[in-house]
């Protein structure tokens, strides 16, 4: 699909803008690429003439540690950025899938995040300014370098979730967080979905302040009571604060768990590493899904039922209190497609987007699904900013 594509590696903002304009003027199709960790997202691409590889634009333009902000070029990898920020005890608190490779531009364009979202939000919550290039060759900025700023439209929000379909991100400025001194994770094992719901309700109603709060569930087809749910609660702060929070959590959660373990150090690190990659390491389609946090019980119940009926192995991992995460669906294409359709028809789940799936699956069900009454705005936004349809090769969402 990309064999014939020309690869352009811009080294300056002006080169990004020029490449977009040239492609647009020539009626070419161009995709913007960071590390390619999300190449499979969205619809199956149509013709790709140009790949704009952003990896040469990989500098930290400024780390204003006294102001806790950093301006970073789009092609810089999150991992390298965080190594540099750590020199001043700070971090860009994002832990998306493929965090080892993901670039800043890709993260913002897809608004991707991971367990730390519980405390810090998604890239759109952390971004405070952006420099964009549009297909008419314009370089424009919005927002600024200060954390508090309401001057003009915040286009750094608009670009979050646009998947490279309306403009290219050249650089972005983020507010940062201090690196916590200590961290511990409580892993809860629960008997069943009801106990899982109770554990989640308990944490949400408490005054505990975890940095991450995850729910996991995996099913095996054709097994009754298939789901093996678990909850991870991570605390990060001063050592004595972490210990106090863990103790509070243990006391409050005793009634709804079968066992609890406290992990720290290397064991904790490897737990989170596993948690981040587990869903993606096995084959199967992966969808993004949302639910109301208090509906986790019925959400898993529904998922279990669909999985059993469709003979599909299903796994879910997500943010318990946000009500968002990923579901992996194993099985053949027709099984996957049926489950995606069921999830879209569900009254519990919403915003089902295929982020990994075969072209056959995507041919059967749209990767993005219906956008409801937002669609006309998306259409006119695309016409306004990318009138020749240059960007993102039909992968969507615009």
5/296 with CB nearer another protein: 296
Report whether 303 contacts 314 (CB < 8 A): yes
Residue 24 interacting with another protein (CB under 8 A): no
207/259 with CB nearer another protein: 207
Q: Report the alpha-carbon distance of residue 117 to residue 186 in Å, rounded.
A: 17
Residues 284-313 within binding reach of another protein (CB under 8 A): 288, 290-294
Residue 351 interacting with another protein (CB under 8 A): yes
Residue 186 interacting with another protein (CB under 8 A): no
5/285 with CB nearer another protein: 285
Residues 203-222 within binding reach of another protein (CB under 8 A): 204-209
Residue 398 interacting with another protein (CB under 8 A): yes
**In three state form, how does the secondary structure of 77-134 look?**
EHHHHHHHHHCCCEECCCCCCCCCCCEHHHHHHHCCCCCCHHHHCCHHHHEEEEEEEC
Residues 4-23 within binding reach of another protein (CB under 8 A): none
Q: Report the alpha-carbon distance of residue 107 to residue 113 in Å, rounded.
A: 8
Cα atoms in the Cβ-side hemisphere of radius 13 Å centred on 105: 30
List the one residue out of 207, 16, 38 whose CA is nearest residue 123: 38
Residues 89-128 within binding reach of another protein (CB under 8 A): 89-90, 111, 121, 124-125
Contacts of 205 (CB under 8 A, 6+ apart): none
Contacts of 88 (CB under 8 A, 6+ apart): 63, 65
Residue 171 interacting with another protein (CB under 8 A): no
> 3-class SS at 258?
coil
In the shown chain, the binding pattern of residues 247 to 286 toward another protein, with x for contact by CB under 8 A and - for none, equals: ----------------------------------------
Residue 161 interacting with another protein (CB under 8 A): yes
99/127 with CB nearer another protein: 127
135/219 with CB nearer another protein: 135
The only residue of 119, 179, 189, 228 in contact with another protein, by rule CB under 8 A: 179
Residues 48-87 within binding reach of another protein (CB under 8 A): 64, 66-69
The DSSP code sequence of 150-183 is: -SS--HHHHHTT-TTSS-EEEEEEEE-EEPPSEE
Residue 341 interacting with another protein (CB under 8 A): no
Q: Report the alpha-carbon distance of residue 79 to residue 85 in Å, rounded.
A: 10
Stretch that binds another protein, among 23-31, 200-208, 276-284, 339-347 (CB under 8 A): 200-208
The only residue of 18, 61, 322, 341 in contact with another protein, by rule CB under 8 A: 322
239/283 with CB nearer another protein: 239
Residues 370-389 within binding reach of another protein (CB under 8 A): 371-374, 376-378, 380-381, 384-385
List the one residue out of 262, 241, 248 whose CA is nearest residue 205: 248
Rounded CA Rg of the chain: 22
Report whether 108 contacts 160 (CB < 8 A): yes
């Amino acid at each position: 699909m990309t064999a014939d594509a020309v690869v352009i590696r811009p080294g300056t903002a002006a080169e990004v803008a020029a490449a977009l304009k040239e492609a647009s003027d020539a009626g070419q199709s161009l995709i913007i690429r960071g590390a390619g960790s999300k190449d499979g997202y969205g619809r199956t691409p149509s013709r790709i003439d140009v790949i704009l590889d952003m990896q040469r634009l990989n500098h930290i333009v400024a780390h204003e540690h006294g102001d806790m902000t950093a301006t970073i070029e789009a092609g810089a990898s999150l991992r390298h950025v965080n190594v540099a920020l750590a020199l001043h005890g700070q971090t860009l608190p994002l832990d998306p899938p493929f965090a080892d490779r993901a670039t800043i531009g890709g993260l913002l364009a897809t608004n991707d995040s991971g367990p730390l979202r519980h405390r810090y939000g998604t890239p759109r919550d952390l971004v405070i300014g952006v420099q964009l290039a549009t297909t008419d060759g314009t370089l424009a900025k919005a927002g600024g370098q200060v954390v508090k700023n309401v001057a003009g439209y915040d286009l750094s929000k608009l670009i979050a979730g646009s998947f490279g379909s309306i403009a290219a991100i050249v650089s972005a400025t983020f507010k940062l967080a201090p690196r916590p001194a200590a961290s511990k994770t409580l892993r809860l094992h629960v008997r069943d979905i009801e106990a899982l719901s109770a554990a989640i309700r308990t944490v949400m109603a408490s005054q505990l302040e975890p940095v991450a709060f995850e729910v996991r569930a995996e099913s095996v087809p054709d097994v009754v009571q298939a789901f093996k749910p678990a909850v991870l609660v991570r605390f990060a702060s001063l050592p004595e604060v972490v210990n106090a929070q863990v103790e509070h959590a243990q006391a409050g959660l005793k009634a709804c768990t079968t066992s609890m373990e406290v992990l720290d150090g290397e064991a904790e690190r490897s737990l989170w590493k596993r948690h981040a990659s587990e869903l993606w390491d096995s084959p199967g389609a992966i969808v993004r899904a949302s639910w109301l946090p208090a509906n986790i019980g019925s959400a898993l119940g529904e998922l279990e039922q669909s999985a059993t009926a469709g003979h599909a192995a299903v796994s879910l991992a997500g943010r318990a209190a946000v009500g968002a995460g990923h579901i992996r669906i194993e099985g053949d294409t027709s099984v996957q497609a049926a489950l995606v359709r069921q999830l879209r028809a569900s009254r519990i789940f919403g915003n089902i987007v295929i982020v990994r799936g075969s072209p056959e699956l995507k041919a059967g069900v749209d990767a993005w699904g219906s956008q409801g009454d937002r669609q006309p705005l998306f259409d006119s936004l695309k016409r306004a900013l990318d009138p020749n349809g240059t960007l993102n090769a039909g992968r969507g969402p615009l």
